[in-house]
């Protein structure tokens, strides 16, 4: 068996190749039509559903072989720890599968002022033992102000005052991890009801703006006649944070849990590798050829 975390499953993204999904929303969730998503959003959700629950689907081999679905590993050079290929594990008790992670954003303008090569040098420096025998990482954890002072002495063209260590808990304790399929279905139904209640409080112009936004990608900037840009941005942010993003998370959890509860065969390690996963160095991750999602 092979195991991956739900967090890493959520990192799967669709390529620019989009399926014509508008009007086919029930392919993503059969129990309700959810028209909150763009073609790209729907393509990603549908491909993830096929990956988890419909491996005999005609698109399965094509989407894997042609990389329609892949893990996001692009490095924007904005964080201390770069994105890495996620691992799949052969041992469900592997410490790497259960461990938390931490990171922090580099100061605003660091990459622009110093360049990518300096970002790489900074990352190396973080894990290099200093004269006191400690790495800068260890100092940041135990004495953040001393760490910031050291950084300010070396990289003087940016401000280090607002550095905060980001601690990310393992996805095993995320909200949906231990939910049953029926509980996730209830969450989805409740979210649809809450959205309708919220939408009924909006003006007609605001409702039309939300409907226009649904079909756009998250990165597409939009304006809307009758709404000031600041008001529009606040409205769309509320929709995304309160409804769209939680619904995406719920659907991904739904596919994941469906696969677990139905004890589906799993995905071969070669498929996981084509999607961008690697075998765990600690537990091997490649002891057999067929894996399950854990």
User: Whole-angstrom Cα distance, residue 188 to residue 184?
Assistant: 6
- Based on the domain organization, do 68 and 134 belong to the same domain? no
DSSP-based three-state secondary structure for 69: strand
Q: Residue 286: which pLDDT band, with cuts at 50, 70 and 90?
A: very low
Going by pLDDT thresholds of 50, 70 and 90, the confidence category of residue 115 is very high
Highest mean pLDDT among 22-36, 136-150, 167-181: 136-150
- How far out from the chain centre does Cα 20 lie? 23
* Residue 220 counted as domain residue: yes
CA dist., res. 86 & res. 71, Å (int): 8
How far is CA 58 from each of CA 43, 46, 54, 268, rounded to the nearest angstrom? 15, 13, 9, 17
Give the relative orientation of helices 245-261 and 181-200 as an angle to the nearest 10 degrees.
160
Main-chain phi, psi angles of 240, to 5 degrees: -65, -50
What pLDDT is stored for residue 204 in this prediction? 95
**Residue 88 lies inside a defined structural domain of this protein:** no
82 falls within a domain: no
Mean pLDDT of 198-227: 86
Is 182 found in the same domain as 274? yes
**Count of domains forming the chain:** 2
Determine the pLDDT at residue 149.
Answer: 94
- Contact (Cβ atoms closer than 8 angstroms) between residue 97 and residue 5: yes
pTM: 0.64
Residue 182 falls within a domain, yes or no?
Answer: yes
Distance, CA of 194 to CA of 106 (rounded, Å): 38
284 band by pLDDT with thresholds 50, 70 and 90: low
Residue 292 has a pLDDT of 38
145 and 200 part of one domain? no
The string of DSSP letters for 192-236 reads: HHHHHHHHHTS-HHHHHHHHHHHTS-TT-----TTS-HHHHHHHH
Residue finishing a domain among 163, 192, 211:
163
Of all residues in the chain, the percent with pLDDT exceeding 90 is: 36
Are 239 and 213 contacting, i.e. CB atoms less than 8 angstroms apart? yes
When pLDDT is cut at 50, 70 and 90, the band that residue 168 belongs to is: low
Q: How many CA atoms lie within 13 A of 77 on its CB side?
A: 14
Lowest mean pLDDT among 16-20, 206-210, 278-282: 16-20
**100 is a domain residue:** no
More confident site: 71 or 208: 208
CB 174 within 8 A of CB 195: no
pLDDT value of residue 268: 60
Q: Which of the four pLDDT bands, split at 50, 70 and 90, describes residue 238?
A: very high
State the chain's maximal CA–CA distance in angstroms: 65
Give dist(CA 193, CA 188) in Å, integer. Answer: 9
Handedness of CA 106, 107, 111, 117 (dihedral sign): negative
Give the pLDDT confidence of 135-159 residue by residue, as tens digits: 999 999 899 999 999 999 999 999 9
Between 7-16, 200-209, 245-254, the lowest mean confidence (pLDDT) is in: 7-16
Domain limits for position 124: 106-163
**What are the C-alpha distances in Å from 5 to residues 168, 251, 261, 285?**
13, 16, 16, 13
For residue 45, being part of any structural domain is answered with yes
């Amino acid at each position: 068996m092979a195991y991956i975390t739900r967090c890493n499953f959520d990192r799967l993204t669709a390529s620019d190749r989009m399926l014509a999904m508008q009007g086919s929303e029930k392919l993503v969730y059969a129990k309700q039509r959810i028209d909150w998503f763009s073609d790209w959003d729907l393509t990603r959700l549908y491909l993830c559903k096929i990956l988890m629950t419909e491996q005999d689907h005609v698109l399965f081999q094509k989407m894997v072989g042609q990389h329609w679905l892949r893990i996001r590993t692009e490095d924007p050079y904005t964080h201390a720890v770069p994105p890495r290929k996620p691992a799949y594990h052969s041992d469900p008790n592997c410490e790497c599968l259960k461990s938390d992670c931490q990171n922090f954003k580099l100061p605003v303008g660091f990459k622009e002022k110093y360049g990518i090569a300096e970002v790489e040098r900074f990352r190396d420096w973080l894990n290099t033992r200093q004269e006191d025998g400690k790495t800068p990482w260890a100092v940041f954890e135990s004495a953040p102000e001393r760490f910031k002072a050291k950084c300010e002495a070396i990289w003087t063209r940016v401000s280090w005052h607002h550095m905060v260590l980001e601690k990310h808990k393992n996805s095993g304790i995320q909200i949906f991890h231990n939910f049953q399929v029926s509980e996730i279905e209830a969450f989805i139904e409740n979210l649809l009801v809450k959205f309708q209640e919220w939408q009924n409080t909006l003006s007609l112009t605001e409702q039309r703006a939300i409907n226009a936004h649904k079909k756009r990608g998250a990165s597409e900037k939009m304006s809307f006649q009758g709404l000031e840009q600041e008001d529009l941005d606040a409205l769309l942010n509320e929709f995304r944070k309160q409804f769209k993003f939680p619904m995406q998370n719920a659907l991904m959890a739904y596919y994941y849990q469906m696969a677990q509860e139905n004890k589906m065969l799993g995905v071969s390690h070669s498929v996981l590798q084509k999607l961008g996963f690697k075998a765990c160095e600690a537990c091997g991750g490649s002891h057999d050829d067929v894996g399950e999602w854990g």
